Amino acid sequence: MTTRSGESSPDTKTDSSNWTIWLRTRIEGLVPPGQALPDRQPVYVASWIYVFGVMTLAALVLVIVSGCVLAVGGSAWWHVSSLGHFVNSVHLWSVQLLFGFMVIHLWGKFWMAAWRGERALTWISGVVLFVVSIGTSFTGFLSQSNFDSQWIGGQAKDGLNSVGIGAWFNVLNPGQMLMWHVVLLPLAVVAITLIHVILVRRHGVVPPLDANLEG
């Protein structure tokens, strides 16, 4: 340490070769000051249609927590334990809520043209997140370890092969689909969610089409 406690070296602010400074500057610049966790919102946000984004996030937290508990017991736990069955049901129904909230959020944003005001990437990341979420949910249905998952896998392989993507993965391989469901796709969902939320905080919540922003 070359600096004393309470002092900061002026050189460290401009040292572009230091990767921690570079990374810190990038993180600090992701959103405008005070907008990462704001305590005030524009007046037009006081509408129920604006709550479905954060309700989707809340459902996602419940999905992840219940999924982590299911991971402790394993994919067959819910077949042999009433507690496992309960947690599996919480996982299933929180996913239903997640998609319900997400689709209503999508409807609201579509009808207010939420890509306005340099928000195209926010819109696109939301669309990608929607598609990846469908894949994550789909692999969950393939991981039920019952006849239902077997039937879904049998139907899906025909559909996926018909569009030419069947060579990349095998929906009839329950081990592969379980690993995709609990590792790869959740990582993608969380990463894209972070990008989406950062973009929302960076550009602000989209105003309604008839909002008077001059007043």
Q: Which residues of this protein are in contact with another protein, per CB under 8 A?
A: 32, 35, 40-49, 51-52, 100, 103-104, 107-108, 117-118, 203-207, 211, 213, 215
Of 58 and 69, which CB lies nearer to another protein in the complex structure? Answer: 58
Which CB atom, from 52 or from 78, has the smaller least distance to another protein? Answer: 52
How far is 51 from 170, CA to CA, in rounded Å? Answer: 38
Task: Identify which of residues 15 and 148 has a Cβ nearer to another protein in the complex.
Answer: 148
* Smallest distance, another protein to C-beta of residue 12, A: 31
Intra-chain end-to-end CA distance of the chain, in Å: 52
Angle (CA) 56-149-152 rounded to 5° is 85
Q: Which is nearer to another protein, 18 or 47 (CB)?
A: 47
Residues 6+ apart with CB under 8 A from 170: 157, 176
Residues 155, 71: Cα–Cα separation, whole Å: 26
Give the nearest distance from C-beta 69 to another protein in angstroms.
Answer: 26
In this structure, the number of other CB atoms found within 10 A of the CB of residue 82 comes to 8
Nearer to another protein by C-beta: 45 or 184?
A: 45
Distance, CA of 136 to CA of 119 (rounded, Å): 26
CB of 148 to another protein, least distance (A): 9
Output the smallest distance, CB 59 to another protein, in A: 14
Residue 71 CB, nearest approach to another protein (Å):
27
């570079």: which residue's tokens? 22
